[in-house]
Chain A
């Protein structure tokens, strides 16, 4: 069966949103000692069909229009709310994901749940199915709108701008040794390239090369940046750093050659595959380094497709062959 995209999006939102986001914060409540006829006035004036019963901030029960109708039928309008209310009330915590609330509504068939704070158990609001729907619709509208604007703006850049040549330049600063953020720039770059309407296969190759280059800058250099230039026919990824430089670029290009310290290896990198991964993603690649000054890596990927998929297939003759660190022409 084809998957309904909106449905999954809504499901996702119910995980992301909290009960607090959807609830009505100013819950109308009644007290246990109030009479049922007073309850009627509260429901009538506020146009509600039930209310939590609260004693000193805590929820002690729930009373609804059904309870009221029963009392009326039996002529018990003078009875106190605490005698007629449902005790043992199911509540929701304000910080729970909305999906828990959805499940509770499904399981119990109640019309509403009081919402309490996890710490002090005090009532902070009330949640009905209607509140959930309203909250989801609002969130969907905002998200949809934002993504539409992004897509529109991005994909029209090349059409809207009049010039002999147009080049979009994206820069990402990479701090040295900031391993916690390693991969973030590549991830952001990937999202951006998608928005520009570039084909997934090309985006993937650029993103993988960028990821490895980013890790290299973080691990080995004193900091640098990724510069990505998008033209109508190619994407150029330049990774440059401020040193210390690579003494032997030919050696560095060899698969499995690594100078990475142990802590990097423990993080799943540093096995000496970075540069050869980059090479496999590139249509053209150059690596120039000067000890004491820094390293410049340039990767060109053509948009009109020369290289097949991710090029694990290109290694037949290259695997152990001497890699070419300078510009390389693809057949």
Chain B
């Protein structure tokens, strides 16, 4: 699924990185907990989160994630957008809540970690 398709499915407005909308995304990663993102995220993922701080950008950067979608109408401040642009990331924002965003994307064909090579053990979370 490309970033352009994702933004269409969840009615997200692209904030920065429009030039990379044809990038292919393999998995979705939805979390408000940055430690979980660091622990589980894989490259070529889109991060769907209700947090819109600079730490989200740093987290994504360290976890090799190049696309982030903010949900529930959260908007990052200009400094956060600038940081993302500097790191060649695409940011988008939707008014939809987390559950609906993920549901629509899953229905649209995007999969999460559980469908790939990782089975989360009970003890992990």
Contacts and interface: CB of A to CB of B under 8 A. Distances in A.
Interface string B68-91: 000000000000000001011000
Contacts of B38: 208, 211-212, 277
Contact of B55 (A12, A182, A280, A318): A182
Contacts of A180: 54
A192 B11 CA distance: 37
B54 to A, nearest CB: 7
A271 B123 CA distance: 15
Interface in B9-51: 16, 18-20, 32-36, 38-40, 42, 49, 51
A269 B37 CA distance: 10
B121 A315 contact: yes
- Sorting the interface of chain B by its residue count into under 10, 10 to 19, 20 to 34 or 35 or more gives 35 or more
B63 A208 contact: yes
Contacts of B123: 255, 315, 318-320
- Sorting the interface of chain A by its residue count into under 10, 10 to 19, 20 to 34 or 35 or more gives 35 or more
A27 to B, nearest CB: 29
Interface in B53-67: 53-59, 61-64
Interface string A184-206: 10110010000000001000100
Contacts of B124: 255, 312, 315, 319
B35 A183 contact: no
B52 to A, nearest CB: 10
Contacts of A280: 39
Contacts of A187: 58, 61-62, 87
A208 B35 CA distance: 9
A269 B61 contact: no
B107 interface: no
Interface in A251-306: 255, 267-269, 271, 273-274, 277, 280
A interface SS class: helix
Contacts of B62: 183, 186-187, 190, 204, 207-208, 210-211
Contacts of B121: 315-316, 319
Contacts of B58: 182-184, 186-187, 211
Nearest to B88: A12
Contacts of A271: 33, 35-36
B32 A312 contact: no
13 contacts: A15-B16, A15-B18, A183-B62, A186-B58, A186-B62, A187-B58, A204-B64, A211-B38, A268-B35, A269-B34, A271-B33, A273-B36, A319-B123
Closest 8 CB pairs of A and B: A319-B123, A183-B58, A273-B35, A268-B34, A11-B19, A207-B62, A320-B123, A268-B51
